[in-house]
């Protein structure tokens, strides 16, 4: 099965759907989530095609607003998108509404402050999100048009809006759709997932004002439910240790382990580890230099739907010396970090 723009990979959902240690009710939640994800994937493919056509015909991107407007909808546990509009999300009695509203605004602020980017399309596009998607829906997604968050089954995953890196991960899928336009298959899919984890983690670190040494580098730490925690699971993924047994979705760590057709949530472990290694070698804060190098490659390469990992790695090598000429420590760190994962 092809990967999607969801945060939880399909085979983790299938594994949990068959996990006899879970109640039938919980297993049912994962079966339902997996079914819904197939449908959302079809919608995303169509939305990406529309973006490509729109970008090809547009002469310039005209900023619609200096900062993006946010609109939030409540699915009320249905699968109807976007759902019912929530009038004033920051003042809502619903904690999920307040959460998503505040964090989405923070992610927009992160992109504007750190990368001078005005929303997903750099043209002030309204950020549309829906909460309480489905019944015990155990995932979050970008469907090409909007973000949506499930409440989780409550035992393996809690409310997906609780982890701020999850929100930044989904929003970054939108940024990728408007920049590199990476596919969700093969190496490009792995890069697509990587960029979402990478900017998701950077956002989390920026929000907490952490150095690379202080950061935990975990993805989805705050959505791990009590039953998963009881099994020693502490995150969905770990950029510092992608193959760790504490990850709900452990990943590969070297390009030699990559196989064509692999779920991008697994192959993204290779660039995830390279990014972490490079950041640790450079020190300081991830978004200061290494993040700028990544963003430059993401936004100056044009549409590269079938980009190879080696191409991305080489472009970061070039971008590092272009952005920071004479910074040999940075250039060497970028080169060594990629070599360590076989790229």
Query: Residues with catalytic annotation?
Result: 170, 265
Q: Of 131-139, 179-187, 192-200, 297-305, which segment contacts Zn ion by CB under 5 A?
A: 192-200
CB of 124 or CB of 264, closer to Zn ion: 264
Q: Of 45-53, 76-84, 195-203, 330-338, which segment contacts Zn ion by CB under 5 A?
A: 195-203
Q: How many helices (H) and strands (E) does the chain have?
A: 11, 7
Tell me the closest approach of the beta carbon of residue 87 to Zn ion, in angstroms.
Answer: 30
Q: Of 159-167, 196-204, 207-215, 223-231, which segment contacts Zn ion by CB under 5 A?
A: 196-204
User: What mask of x and - would describe binding to Zn ion in positions 305 to 334, judged by CB under 5 A?
Assistant: ------------------------------
- Determine the Cα–Cα distance for residues 341 and 254; give it in Å rounded to an integer: 5
Residue nearest to Zn ion (CB): 196
Secondary structure of 242-270 in HEC code, one letter for each residue = CCCCCECCCCCCCHHHCCCCCCHHHHCHH
Q: Among 146, 196, 205, 227, which residue sits at the site for Zn ion (rule: CB under 5 A)?
A: 196
CB of 119 or CB of 192, closer to Zn ion: 192
Residue count, binding to Zn ion (CB under 5 A):
1
Contact 266, 9 (CB under 8 A): yes
CB of 101 or CB of 196, closer to Zn ion: 196
Q: Please list the alpha-helical segments (H only) found in 116-185.
A: 164-177
Beta bridge partners of 128: 71
CB of 2 or CB of 98, closer to Zn ion: 2
Crossing angle for the helix pair 328-340 and 309-323, to the nearest 10 degrees: 170
Q: Please, which of residues 51-80 interact with Zn ion by CB under 5 A?
A: none
E strand map for the chain: 70-74, 84-85, 127-131, 140-142, 147-149, 218-219, 237-238
Tell me the closest approach of the beta carbon of residue 265 to Zn ion, in angstroms.
Answer: 7
CB of 196 or CB of 316, closer to Zn ion: 196
3-state helix, strand, coil in the chain (%, to 5): 50, 10, 40
118 binding Zn ion? (CB under 5 A): no
User: What mask of x and - would describe binding to Zn ion in positions 137 to 176, judged by CB under 5 A?
Assistant: ----------------------------------------
Residues ≥6 apart with Cβ < 8 Å to 241: 247
Q: Positive or negative, the Cα torsion across 273, 275, 281, 287?
A: negative
Q: Positive or negative, the Cα torsion across 314, 319, 325, 329?
A: negative
CB of 177 or CB of 196, closer to Zn ion: 196
Tell me the closest approach of the beta carbon of residue 6 to Zn ion, in angstroms.
Answer: 6
CB of 131 or CB of 330, closer to Zn ion: 131
DSSP state of 62: P
- Determine the Cα–Cα distance for residues 335 and 319; give it in Å rounded to an integer: 12
Q: In angstroms, what CA-CA distances link 324 with 114, 195, 287, 288, 321?
A: 16, 21, 14, 11, 5
Q: Of 38-46, 78-86, 189-197, 266-274, which segment contacts Zn ion by CB under 5 A?
A: 189-197
Name the residues that contact Zn ion, by CB under 5 A. 196
């Amino acid at each position: 099965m092809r990967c999607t723009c969801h945060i939880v990979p399909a085979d983790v959902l299938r594994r949990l759907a068959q996990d006899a240690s879970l109640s039938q009710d919980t297993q049912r939640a994962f079966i339902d989530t997996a079914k819904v994800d197939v449908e959302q994937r079809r919608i995303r493919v169509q939305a990406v095609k529309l973006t490509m056509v729109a970008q090809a015909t547009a002469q310039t991107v005209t900023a619609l607003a200096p900062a993006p407007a946010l609109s939030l909808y409540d699915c009320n546990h249905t699968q109807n998108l976007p759902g019912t509009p929530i009038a004033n999300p920051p003042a809502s009695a619903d904690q999920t509404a307040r959460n998503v509203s505040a964090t989405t605004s923070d992610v927009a602020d992160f992109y504007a402050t750190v990368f001078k980017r005005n929303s997903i399309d750099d043209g002030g596009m309204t950020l549309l999100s829906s909460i309480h998607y489905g019944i015990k829906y155990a995932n979050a997604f970008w469907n090409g048009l909007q973000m949506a968050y499930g409440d989780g089954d409550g035992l393996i995953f809690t409310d997906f809006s609780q982890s701020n890196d999850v929100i930044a991960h989904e929003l970054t899928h939108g940024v990728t759709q408007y920049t590199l336009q990476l596919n969700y298959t093969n190496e490009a899919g792995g890069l697509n997932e990587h960029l979402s984890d990478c900017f998701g983690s950077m956002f989390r670190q920026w929000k907490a004002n952490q150095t690379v040494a202080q950061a935990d580098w975990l993805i989805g730490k705050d959505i791990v439910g009590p039953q998963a925690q009881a099994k020693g699971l502490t995150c969905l993924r770990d950029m510092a240790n992608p193959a760790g047994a504490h990850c709900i979705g452990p990943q590969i760590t070297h390009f030699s382990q990559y196989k064509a057709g692999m779920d991008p949530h697994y192959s993204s472990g290779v660039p995830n580890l390279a990014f972490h290694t490079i950041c640790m070698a450079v020190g300081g804060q991830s978004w200061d230099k290494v993040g700028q190098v990544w963003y430059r490659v993401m936004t100056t390469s044009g549409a590269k739907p079938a980009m190879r990992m080696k191409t991305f790695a080489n472009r970061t090598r070039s971008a590092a010396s272009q952005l920071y000429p004479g910074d040999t420590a940075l250039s060497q760190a970028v080169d060594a970090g990629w070599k360590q994962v076989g790229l």
